Amino acid sequence: MTADREVWREATGVVIATSAYGVSFGALAVASGLDVWQTCVLSLLMFTGGSQFAFVGVFAAGGVAALPSAIASAVLLGVRNVAYGMRMSSVVGTTPARRVAAAHFTIDESTAVAVSQNDPRLRRVGFWVTGIGIFLGWNVTTLVGALVGDILGDPKTWGLDAAAAAAFLALLWPRLRRRQPIAVGIAAAVVAAALTPALMPGLPVLVAALVAILVGWFDWLGHDGAPSTSAPEAIR
């Protein structure tokens, strides 16, 4: 299999898995009190799954009175996209038009697929194919979920709540070949899991990211028979 076909195959797999999760969002958004049009507009304009789920989760708990808190939670989760944007600025292209267009497609999945490639050209392919593919698929499945939410029932019954996590695990697994990335992954997971009950949505992930920064900065476990990992590489 050629490198181009491989990156397309990887991106397509992530697109399919993540888009399937959009059904869950559509159903939950309508169940929380949004109508079909509001749900679809939220996916079109916000287009960042974690922030969208945070918004509808808080909104469902408090209704219109909780709208400021719902917006704050969504913004907090979206902060991570700023870091993604800095990392992707050299990947998406140098023209202003490309960077403006890329801003809407800079999400967890497009960033993950892009940085998993070694060739700059393949990084661009991975970013654009994943970002645009998920945007199209996510909005289609959001509409489907909003329309058939009552028929679908609990999305967890169909395993849709695990689709995005499974896609990320598939991207992460091939990179766990040395002690340093394994240690970063385990430590970050423990930190995020421990802080989830105590902090607002979004904060545990941001705090867990500090694990990668510290390990990369001090190069802990970086000397295991392979080139050491720099701070930016560890953050990736």
CB distance 8 to 125 below 8 Å: yes
CB distance 234 to 178 below 8 Å: no
Q: What pLDDT shows up at residue 235?
A: 39
How far apart, in whole angstroms, are the C-alpha atoms of residue 112 and residue 130?
Answer: 9
SS3 assignment, position 213: helix
How far apart, in whole angstroms, are the C-alpha atoms of residue 118 and residue 70?
Answer: 38
Q: What pLDDT shows up at residue 132?
A: 95
Q: What pLDDT shows up at residue 165?
A: 60
CB distance 39 to 142 below 8 Å: yes
Residue 112 to residues 65, 143, 175, Cα–Cα distance (Å):
36, 26, 11
Q: What pLDDT shows up at residue 197?
A: 85
pTM: 0.68
Helices (H), the chain: 3-32, 36-45, 49-62, 67-78, 80-92, 96-103, 108-115, 120-152, 163-172, 179-195, 203-218, 231-235
How far apart, in whole angstroms, are the C-alpha atoms of residue 147 and residue 209?
Answer: 37
Run means of pLDDT, 10 residues per run, the chain, 236 residues: 86 89 85 87 88 77 68 73 82 82 89 88 93 95 86 62 59 71 83 82 71 75 50 40
